[in-house]
Structure 1
């Protein structure tokens, strides 16, 4: 990855997620974010806050503007078919959103015995939509693998990977993917 791509990946991840610790960037495709984070903090695009959870990074207004501009530039280069694929991917994804919300709500209400199998069944039903998401935009390519990784943890009995916001849980990754797609698709039609 070039320096420009790494910086853009970090800015986009922070625009979608809000605040992230450095250890979360590899899931977004930035394997070694430390130098880029230092550079972006020094440039005034990213701010660093020390919290009880460790160092957290978030966008400054300049960083938000840079992240928004980068997506707008990418969208401007899409042909009509590529732009339509974005909307279709979002629609296909959203068709499964209510089902996942009900599954997670049931889990949070105590339905834990079958959550691994229920989540696997859901994941298989949503697989076509997830594949469409991954192929619609390079920004979205990591989501299917991230969801699969969270699911594998749940199947191993690591139930925090169902919905914990503090890690790459299934529900957290799904929520981030949904937010990401909405931000990008809304930018198509300002």
Structure 2
């Protein structure tokens, strides 16, 4: 069941993706990933068009059922505690994202100032180090989320080697993308909705 939830959830979050991208996110070989996807396609829960995969309405419905079953088995008080702790880190990442995109309220960051960007990367690295122990606790409570530590580590490593696009690169496993997807998983595990979190100012 865990493999099915993981694949369907990533298909939901990514919209349209490839076997290669899914395998990287899950931290498994492409062949293993394809073997997990094949039964979903056969059941009509996923579809592949021109090399791109997406969840079908039936797949989304099945995912909703599976997530509800998973949530029923979780320690809800512990999940709520973890979510509140995550929220403080989320505020910090939102601030870093704003600084990465804007140098001031009306001045976009064109990334021509290496020192300005380096200071933000230093702060992101510090956040990553502070967040890692909480992430380990999250995975202990919700084992299905075990693919996240490796994804965060790969993104921060690429950033550290000088490819700063992995901070907020869209349609890839950038730090921001992985954070957004983890946030979505935690919102669901806590029995909340993205709309509720956006209204409360907690959405990234």
- With the shorter chain as reference, the TM-score category is 0.7 to 0.9
Distance across 1 between alignment mates of 2:130 and 2:175: 15
Which structure 2 residues correspond to residues 23-102 of structure 1 after superposition, within 5 A?
23-26=20-23, 27-31=25-29, 32-50=32-50, 55-78=51-74, 82-102=75-95
Gap regions ≥5 residues in structure 2: 102-108, 193-204
> CA offsets per residue over residues 87-129 of structure 1, 9 Å max, x none?
1111111111121112122223234233432211111232333
Secondary structure at 1:47 match in 2: strand
2:121 alignment partner in structure 1: 116
CA distance in 2, matches of 1:104, 1:11: 28
CA-based RMSD of the aligned residues comes to 2.2
Counterpart residue number, 1:149: 154
Measure the CA separation in 1 of the matches of 2:15 and 2:28: 16
Query: Cα gap change, 1:15/1:87 in structure 2, threshold over 3 Å: closer, same or farther?
Result: farther
Distance 1:144 1:5, change over 3 A: closer
Q: Aligned with 1:165: secondary structure?
A: coil
Query: What is the CA–CA distance in structure 2 between the aligned matches of 1:48 and 1:92, rounded to whole Å?
Result: 38
**Aligned positions, number:** 178
2:168 aligned residue: 163
